[in-house]
A and B are shown apart, each in its own frame.
Chain A
Amino acid sequence: MGAITIDSLTKRFDDVVAVDDVSVEIEDGEFLVLVGPSGCGKTTTLRMVAGLETPSEGAIRFDGELVNYTVPQDRDVAMVFQDYALYPHMTVRGNLKFGLEEEPEYTDAERDERVEEVAELLDIGNLLERKPGELSGGQQQRVALGRAIVRDPEVFLMDEPLSNLDAKLRAQMRTELQQLQSQLDVTTVYVTHDQTEAMTMSDRMVVMNDGELQQVGAPLELYHEPRNRFVAEFIGEPSMNFIDGQRGTDGFESEPLDYPFDSTVESSVASLSDGDRLTLGIRPEDIELYDDAADVTEGSHTESMTVTVVEPMGNENVVHLSYDDATARGDDLIAISDGLRTIETGAELDVRIPPEAIHLFDGDTGNALHNRLLETDEQPITQ
């Protein structure tokens, strides 16, 4: 009852293209997250689904029915705003009940009942008579959520709803929101710039940049099989390491690093000729750090590097590495090591980039040529 089809959606503000030809199918009950840097068009997309903006081109359908020409009032959607947009002159009860007044199928007593019910669900029953100004940020957030839930809409739209909370509360609300959503089983479109939120909460996520859709998929699919360099870089914290270089005779060549390909990788880049620009990508947690090269089982993908900075996070260390060859201007690497392991700044380590974990991107277009091997996958995903 809440499937959404977004079809070639485009929005232009004067000369600026905010959303450029975006198409997504959203299933009923799905939790879809739109994620991207600020200005990527994710909020505009959401607002078009809400009916607050009119698409320049393209179609939005709810259950197959075109809603381009339906005003927000008639779309049966509920929205949680970034600033919550609670009506400051009404009590929490008034805020929750306000939208319900437009639902003719309820009697007034039923509306009150419904408000109580939702307030209980969100644990704000004791706040009903207060005004929003008297509530903490977290409580306001719950009221905003309650206002959306109380109307039992076909679709929830959420515009960065957690961005005004402090880190701890945000993590807590993340879990709670997820549980709520699966409990209510209502289609949810959620906009955030925070890739952690997107990864942890979504059934599927849509990565956008410059108004264009980059990739749609389940979080781990995007993490391990990014379609291009933008997605690879945007998802994951710390970011994937990238080394710019070119196709050499027997592998990847760059100033700091020559990296021979093994056969699986070789087959994905077979179409390239020598000298074509390539970017090699490797996630920090895939980099192996050895105190002594003797421990390394396979020597060919190992380089000696110097530790420049260590950021201890407790459960892990983020290790910044530099090629100790003084002439090298190449990218430094960032690796993650176990939190219990002691690594000193200035130490020299043997760094191994395992061939099964590397990604390769076209140096010009940024498109992925080769993604890492997964145990479950027999074949590398190529484009």
Chain B
Amino acid sequence: MANNGSNFDIRSIVDGMNHRRLGIYVFVTVFIAFFLVPLETGIMTALKSTEAINRSLPFLPPGGDGFTLANLELALEQVQRGVINSLLMALPATIINIVLASMAAYGLTLVDWRGQIGVLLLFVAGVFVPYQAVIVPLARFWTHIFPITEILSPLARLVLVEPYHLELIPLMITHVAYGIPIITVLFRSYYKSMPKSLIEAGKIDGKSVTQIYRDIVLPLSKPMFGVVFIYQFTQIYNEFLFSKVLIGSASAQQATVTLILPQIGASTSGLDYGLRMSAAFLAALPTLVLYIAFAEQFAEGLKTGGA
């Protein structure tokens, strides 16, 4: 504090504080605008007619006859199946992923054995491997080595199961497999903070490794399950590269929402931003809602896990 010199002038201290605080609040507000403007502009544009888009400033709300829901309706028509496909794929993938990862983290953290660190190192390194390094084999794996869609094709006769649903299974398993490292690391950092004596007390109480997991570790990791679910669901739902590689075309019936979005509103005459922004907003809606409801858990996941 610049003003708290030797003469203890209360007034100047208070003034100094106020200026400082005022400065901080100005910055805070400016950055709120910085982070929100692209999003706000997008939403406003989604609600405008093409004419209004060309006429008005992008971030201003639509006025009078410039307001229309036509773009949103049209976008919903095109994006709908992608959103459903993505949810169908991301929900089970996330759940299987976090259950497996929690088990792995338990086996690698709370139970002690020699050589653990080596196995662990492979998990941590796996977090950072660029997916580009595996996508060529991945495509071959699901088409030639293990064509699971064909193997499971009899399932398509079940009620509510369409043949294209099965096409989502390779994508789902892929997400599970490549999601394991990061979620294991997240769970491990949580389990490391759990007192070891709880596990030891379980042993002394005569419980097996499995019972300790079921009766002690699982109930105590409920908050962490929330954190990793929010985190990983967002990641899988938002992911694009695997969809591109395993599904390919935006016109495919099983196309995920991230695959469809970059094609919407594009024509030879240029981009229809009203439609594109509407679609972007609708595509982002599930994770946006999840984020607004559970921002704290999302931040928690990012903090320990990385982007």
Contacts and interface: CB of A to CB of B under 8 A. Distances in A.
A81 interface: yes
Interface in B176-217: 195, 197-198, 200-208, 215-216
B270 interface: no
Contacts of A81: 197, 200-201
Contacts of A74: 206
A2 to B, nearest CB: 15
B220 interface: yes
Contacts of B208: 73
B219 interface: yes
Interface in A322-376: none
A79 B201 contact: yes
Interface stretch (A84-92, A211-219, A274-282, A301-309): A84-92
B27 to A, nearest CB: 40
B204 A77 contact: yes
A66 B181 CA distance: 41
Contact of B203 (A73, A82, A87, A103): A73
Contacts of B200: 50, 52, 72, 79, 81, 85
B197 A72 contact: no
A83 interface: yes
A73 B207 contact: yes
B197 A83 contact: yes
Nearest to B220: A89
Contacts of A99: 204-207
A87 B216 contact: yes
Given A73-B203, A78-B204, A79-B204, A89 B219 contact: yes
Interface in A37-62: 50-52
B203 A52 contact: yes
A83 B197 CA distance: 8
Contacts of B204: 50, 52, 72-73, 77-79, 99, 157
Contacts of B205: 98-99, 102, 147, 151
B193 to A, nearest CB: 13
Contact of A85 (B195, B206, B220): B195
Contacts of B220: 88-89
B206 A87 contact: no
Interface string A77-116: 1110111011111000000001100110000000000000
A98 B215 contact: yes
A158 B257 CA distance: 59
Nearest to B211: A102
A336 B13 CA distance: 56
Contacts of B195: 83, 85
Contacts of A79: 200-201, 204
A158 to B, nearest CB: 12
A88 B222 CA distance: 13
A24 to B, nearest CB: 21
A87 B207 contact: no
Interface in A5-37: none
Contacts of A87: 198, 201, 216
The 8 closest A-B pairs by CB, nearest first: A99-B205, A102-B206, A85-B197, A85-B201, A81-B197, A72-B203, A89-B219, A79-B204
28 contacts: A50-B204, A51-B203, A52-B203, A72-B203, A73-B206, A73-B207, A74-B206, A79-B204, A81-B201, A83-B197, A85-B195, A85-B198, A85-B201, A87-B198, A87-B201, A88-B220, A89-B219, A89-B220, A98-B205, A98-B207, A98-B215, A99-B205, A99-B206, A99-B207, A102-B205, A102-B206, A102-B207, A103-B206
